[in-house]
Structure 1
Amino acid sequence: MAMGVHGRRGRGGRRAPMAEINVTPLVDVMLVLLIIFMVTAPLLATGVPVDLPQSRAAPLDQQAKPTQVSLDAQGRIFIDDAPVAEAALPQRLADLAAAPAPPEGRRVYLRADRSLDYGRVMRVMGELNRAGLNHVALVSTGEDQP
């Protein structure tokens, strides 16, 4: 009589329960979820409404006084509290860029009223860029308290 190797049998001839977990379906589900999150994450980032003038950021610690370019609610342009006509802005910015800069570089703070058109602010930023003033920081106030 040939004796073969048989699985363990409990009482009554039933097989013992298998103590291993099949992880293949779990890995499949996790990979599908990962793909879904990778596809939807960039879509969620573009749909977030942003109120730029409010910020909880700490003020910058800096030794040299930066140049401030401001736009008020009527769209008038100021450089360090001095009014500048829009036609004279490129020349004033070119003169500012040509002046000797501090060792850490020339910083420009752009302050704009929140009621202004975004395109108006971008035109001023374009003039700053054309003049070679590339270290521009947008200034905001602290978060409004209710």
Structure 2
Amino acid sequence: MYTLQQRKRRRLLAEINVVPYIDVMLVLLVIFMITAPMLTQGVKVDLPQAASKPVKPPEDEPPLLINVDVQGRYYINAGKAPRQPVTADKLLEVVTLVLRHKPDTPILIGGDRQVSYGAVVKVMALLQQAGAPHIGLITETPSRQESR
């Protein structure tokens, strides 16, 4: 009889209590929901929708054009030498001065087809630092041969 009682005591309980795991999961979910919006960084850009027509800037206020070439050099159509490359600091300075004088000046960025995405994003970040409220991207209309 002693062995029969011993066997009953040794019987294991094979259930796992998952309630604490669910509690931990819900706490982590709440933490991630709160912190995720704080971690996102980006450059605010107003992009036109695909079905929209090209925007024509006012004739009395020409847009500020910033171009990025294949080597990642910046060009701006303001100043004494618009065909000379400028540094990032000079670009920031010129855009800040233009926006301080005329805050509604439209700003357009043009990038060479071969330029890296990162170079264009750097320009957008500089323009955001300068206080540009709206940034547009310059594109070309695809030709019929390229669309085939």
After superposition, residues 42-57 of structure 1 pair within 5 angstroms as none
Mean Cα deviation higher: 106-115 or 75-84 = 75-84
Give, in angstroms, the shift of residue 56 of structure 1: 8.1
**1:58 — aligned with what?**
53
Does the CA-based 8 Å contact 1:93-1:131 persist in structure 2?
yes
- RMSD (Å) for aligned C-alpha atoms: 2.0
**1:121 — aligned with what?**
120
**1:73 — aligned with what?**
70
Within 2, Cα distance between the matches of 1:96 and 1:87? 14
Aligned length: 89
Normalising by structure 2, what TM-score?
Answer: 0.53
Does the CA-based 8 Å contact 2:76-2:86 persist in structure 1?
yes
Within 1, Cα distance between the matches of 2:51 and 2:144? 11
Does the CA-based 8 Å contact 2:68-2:119 persist in structure 1?
no
2:95 to 87, 93, 99: 93
Q: Which has the larger radius of gyration?
A: 1
Classify 1:76/1:62 alpha carbon distance in 2 versus 1 (closer, same or farther; 3 Å): same
Within 1, Cα distance between the matches of 2:106 and 2:87? 22
SS at match of 1:75: coil
SS at match of 2:89: coil
Normalising by structure 1, what TM-score?
Answer: 0.54
Where in structure 1 do 4 or more consecutive aligned residues deviate above 4 Å?
none
- Identical counterparts, % of pairs: 25
Give, in angstroms, the shift of residue 135 of structure 1: 1.1
How far does the alpha carbon of each residue in 1:86-140 deviate from its partner, in whole angstroms, 9 at most, with x for none?
3322222221221134xxx221011011211111110110000011012110010
**1:132 — aligned with what?**
131
Unaligned segments of structure 2, at least 5 residues: 1-49
Within 1, Cα distance between the matches of 2:52 and 2:69? 22
Does the CA-based 8 Å contact 1:56-1:142 persist in structure 2?
no
**2:109 — aligned with what?**
110
